[in-house]
């Protein structure tokens, strides 16, 4: 399944935007599979991208890009656990 094509086919039905993204956060501050200092952070051409060298397992993933998140009406982050406290304090 080509997620980029699928997403592009349904976005016009919602005014060109995703309604909601419910996201978690890793201990290093990554969300989706967008890791700090990874080249994928610079991807601006597509809404969905593969990552073949994830610094956390599994190494092969599919993720929304920042471009997709920017085209989302509401983004909610949910982060729990003591290990995430230091990075959460930096972000907030």
**pLDDT surpassing 70 at residue 1:** no
What pLDDT is stored for residue 91 in this prediction? 84
Hunting for tokens 């935007």 — which residue is that? Answer: 17
| pLDDT surpassing 80 at residue 40 | yes
84-91, long-range: CB < 8 A, 24+ apart: 84/25, 84/26, 84/27, 87/25, 87/27, 87/28, 87/29, 88/25, 90/29, 91/29
pLDDT above 70 (res 90): yes
pTM equals 0.83
Cα(first)–Cα(last) distance of the chain, in Å?
Answer: 36
What is the mean predicted confidence (pLDDT) over 3-14?
Answer: 92
Residue 88 pLDDT more than 60?
yes
Strand-strand pairing, 61-64 and 48-51: antiparallel
Say if CB 15 and CB 72 are below 8 A apart: no
């Amino acid at each position: 399944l080509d997620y980029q094509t699928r997403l592009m086919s349904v976005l016009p039905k919602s005014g060109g935007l995703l309604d909601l993204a419910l996201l978690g956060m890793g201990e290093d501050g990554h969300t989706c599979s967008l890791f700090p200092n990874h080249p994928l952070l610079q991807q601006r051409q597509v809404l969905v991208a593969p990552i073949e060298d994830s610094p956390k397992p599994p190494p092969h993933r599919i993720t929304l890009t920042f471009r997709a998140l920017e085209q989302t009406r509401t983004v909610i982050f949910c982060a729990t656990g003591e290990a995430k406290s230091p990075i959460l304090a930096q972000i907030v």
